[in-house]
Structure 1
Amino acid sequence: MFFFSFVFLSLVSIISSLDNGLGKTPQMGWNSWNHFGCRINETVIRETADALISTGLAKAGYTYVNVDDCWASARDSTTKFIQPDPSTFPSGMAALADYVHSRGLLFGLYSDAGYETCAGRPGSFGYEDIDAHVYAQWKVDYLKYDNCNSRPTNCTIKERYERMRDALNRTGRPIFYSACEWGEMLPALWFRSVANSWRTTGDIVDTWLLMLLNIDINNLFWSFAAPHGFNDPDMLEIGNGGMTYNEYRTHMSLWSIAKAPLLIGCDVRNISKESLELLTNPEVIAVNQDPLGLQGKKVRIDPYNGTEVWAGPLVDGSMAVVAFNRNNDMSQAVVVSFSDLGWKTTSQVKVRDLWARQDLGQFQCNYTALNIEPHGVQMLKMTLIASE
């Protein structure tokens, strides 16, 4: 029943998904905000595109290069076309997009459904068709659409996001549409026909507790994610220094099983070997990018010892599993009962450790992940061999 409940609930959602051909799996790439904030310029973006290639991140699937807030300055007084900041992007966004495309990557920009962006730059409300036209001319591939400075209008939040959706579609250029409404109006419940992904939470912060807060909130909406439309608990903080290696591995594991967008938020020009290893593990990424596109969720919580089991189905009939020790100060064993995965307790199951990239053997009834460190996980792929 576990597997079929996933399929049924998600097929209901697929019926009304945004039809722009994009987002069959969660988006992967890089975004400037978490590390740079407003300290961006065209040199940083070009060097980041180069670094995505040289580090192997692009080969691993991180193909979007997304410029967040602070790139725009004003509107042309005659055409009302939005203008890039001449001090930081003197070559213009079309030239920058061309450079990113020349590296075999995709180019993304940021705007806002209000009158101004969060940093006080021009927003798109009332200029949706003009801005969408300009973005298409610049060959933009991705739009992150924020929710700041939306003074009272005659439009609901949903209508403001629909206006940009329709404007993007009228351009004829496929542009991935990432709605950043912060989860305030529970967008997971009604955004499938509006955007390719939607924020379910407030902004992420590079701390253990706030990272967990975002993924716990995101988990509430697991049944609404499916191909072409995914829940977004915000960008990755791996490499920014606020958490330990062990905590960042948990961060990557939970985002991957939850089919969350994998958008790197650190300075990849100076990325550490450890962060690179976490971001490029092919078997962990494969869970996130599995074509079935169904979000994993918590299937067992033990409040007495602080352990959890997360699980979700994969297209080949196997299950992705995260055995998670939330405990702050003690290593724990985490038991994964096969009945929690929808299998009979007599089932024979093959288990593979995705971070270690090695098979662990065949097990019956359950699998016990031993000595999981505090704040740590074991991420697994479980394949049913026989069910008596």
Structure 2
Amino acid sequence: MPPNGLEEAPPNNVDGQRVTSLKPNHLAMTPPMGWNTWNKFACDITAEKIERAADAMVASGMQKAGYRYILIDDCWQGVRDKDGNIHADAVRFPKGIRALADYVHAKGLLLGIYSDAGTLTCGGKPGSRGHEFQDARQYAAWQVDYLKYDWCSTGTQDGPSSYRTMADALRETGRPIVFSICEWGTANPWTWGEGQGGNLWRVSADITDRWDGMKNYSLGVLPIIDLMEPLYSYAGPGHWNDPDMLEVGNGGMTEAEERSHFSLWAEMSAPLIAGNDLTAMSPFVKATLTNEEVIAVDQDALGIQGHRVARGEGWEVWSKPLSDGGRAVVLFNRSAKRLTVTAKWSDLGYPLTARATVRDLWKKRDVAHDAQNYSDSVEPHGVVMVRLKF
């Protein structure tokens, strides 16, 4: 075997060159679950806010439901010293990142951090370009468990090789660190992300807290769903398509839309990374984020990303095979009026004579159905999510 943990891979189309593929790091075997600072706080972050979020993750029951990562996004950085070592902002993080990691770990949680493949981060802080191995060693010394690696100020850099450099650097530390590629989907990272050491990769521009359309170059939930859906063949244990963080609880959508957002992220085996204020959750937001039956679909060990199997005017049926032989099925109403949506056994790959039990994952009870299909009335922009066992 070649040195540095590399094994030969078939030729691919990255710049027409033969590349090598990193061995799996056996991390993120189910989609990562946690909380990230950006969607709610952007650059307005402090160690105290992050500690409060960790406290709330435990107290709210989110940790029990499977959330593990507390992720610090952009703007934690201070300056590099004369030797090029990166330091945390001394005002916002007076005790440093290691102290914060100790606090988070003491609660049974894991800590993530953010950097950028370019010279500057998207928030104008020092990026990791030219300091990849130095930064990776520092993150390991701080006991970091996850790195989100962005794509600002990269100029003419090559995406696959830039991410490969940081993946090599992380592995050289010997510490298990989940590697999140945040390349925004511009260079189709789903085609090369796994081979370059990624555990997950973004498929689109940033999410914004709205159902449809775009705001400040960020996309609403619906267009991200449409970008993510065709990519299901690229996802699996240890390597996931990432439609960006959750906006549940941030106030820009209706309850039906937020429930659809969460359901379809679970159906698509997406990372479930909350982005709301965990210290001020309404009962609805808490119940949505901690629905263990929906979370179980996302975390199913088979690791198959669900996708559309039928569609019509304003409606869709989605199916996700599960490790028990059943299916997680979403009846999705994209329209602005209530519709009846039907999942036919034939669309799910089952014979018409198959007998099934159907459990509604939001009502948390078994429901009646016809012999060869399941139909339900679905509210505007809403879903009915069921688990079928044949």
Structure 2: where are the runs of 5+ without partners? 1-20, 213-219
The alignment status of 1:295 with 2:301, answered yes or no, reads no
1:151 Cα deviation after fit: 2.0
The alignment status of 1:211 with 2:221, answered yes or no, reads yes
1:363 Cα deviation after fit: 3.7
Residue 221 of structure 1: SS of its match in structure 2? Answer: helix
The alignment status of 1:38 with 2:43, answered yes or no, reads yes
1:215 Cα deviation after fit: 1.3
Q: Which amino acid aligns with 1:336?
A: A
Residue 203 of structure 1: SS of its match in structure 2? Answer: coil
Q: Normalising by the residue count of structure 2, what TM-score does the alignment of the two structures yield?
A: 0.91
Structure 1: where are the runs of 5+ without partners? 1-15
Q: 2:166 aligns with which of 155, 164, 173?
A: 164
The aligned counterpart of 1:29 is: 34
Query: Is the 1:352–1:360 contact (alpha carbons within 8 Å) kept by the matching residues of 2?
Result: yes
Q: 1:187 aligns with which of 162, 186, 189?
A: 189
Decide whether aligned partners of structure 1 residues 105 and 231 sit closer, same or farther in structure 2, where only a CA change above 3 A counts: same
Partner Cα separation in structure 1 for residue 369 and residue 123 of structure 2: 54
The aligned counterpart of 2:232 is: 222
Query: Is the 1:348–1:363 contact (alpha carbons within 8 Å) kept by the matching residues of 2?
Result: no
1:334 Cα deviation after fit: 0.2
Partner Cα separation in structure 1 for residue 224 and residue 23 of structure 2: 24
**Higher-RCO chain (CA-CA 8 Å, sequence separation at least 6):** 1
Partner Cα separation in structure 1 for residue 156 and residue 188 of structure 2: 19
Give a deviation string over 1:292-322, Cα, whole Å, max 9, x none: 01100011110x2x00001110000000000
Matching of residues 106-255 of structure 1 within 5 Å? 106-153=110-157, 156-193=158-195, 194-209=197-212, 210-255=220-265
1:35 Cα deviation after fit: 0.4
1:346 Cα deviation after fit: 2.4
Query: Is the 2:201–2:241 contact (alpha carbons within 8 Å) kept by the matching residues of 1?
Result: yes
Cα RMSD of the aligned pairs, angstroms, is 1.0
How many residues in Structure 1 have an aligned counterpart in Structure 2?
362
Q: 2:108 aligns with which of 88, 104, 110?
A: 104
Give a deviation string over 1:77-118, Cα, whole Å, max 9, x none: 12x110100110111000110111011100000000111100
The alignment status of 1:368 with 2:378, answered yes or no, reads no
Q: Normalising by the residue count of structure 1, what TM-score does the alignment of the two structures yield?
A: 0.92
Give a deviation string over 1:339-372, Cα, whole Å, max 9, x none: 1111112222211101111011354221111x21
The alignment status of 1:377 with 2:383, answered yes or no, reads yes
Decide whether aligned partners of structure 1 residues 64 and 18 sit closer, same or farther in structure 2, where only a CA change above 3 A counts: farther
The aligned counterpart of 1:350 is: 357
Runs of 4 or more above 4 Å deviation: none
Does 25-34 or 193-202 show the bigger shift? Answer: 193-202
Q: Which amino acid aligns with 2:307?
A: K
Identity %: 49
Partner Cα separation in structure 1 for residue 262 and residue 99 of structure 2: 33
Partner Cα separation in structure 2 for residue 17 and residue 82 of structure 1: 26
Partner Cα separation in structure 2 for residue 174 and residue 363 of structure 1: 49
Q: 1:87 aligns with which of 77, 87, 91?
A: 91
Query: Is the 2:369–2:375 contact (alpha carbons within 8 Å) kept by the matching residues of 1?
Result: no
Partner Cα separation in structure 2 for residue 61 and residue 316 of structure 1: 20
Query: Is the 1:18–1:196 contact (alpha carbons within 8 Å) kept by the matching residues of 2?
Result: no
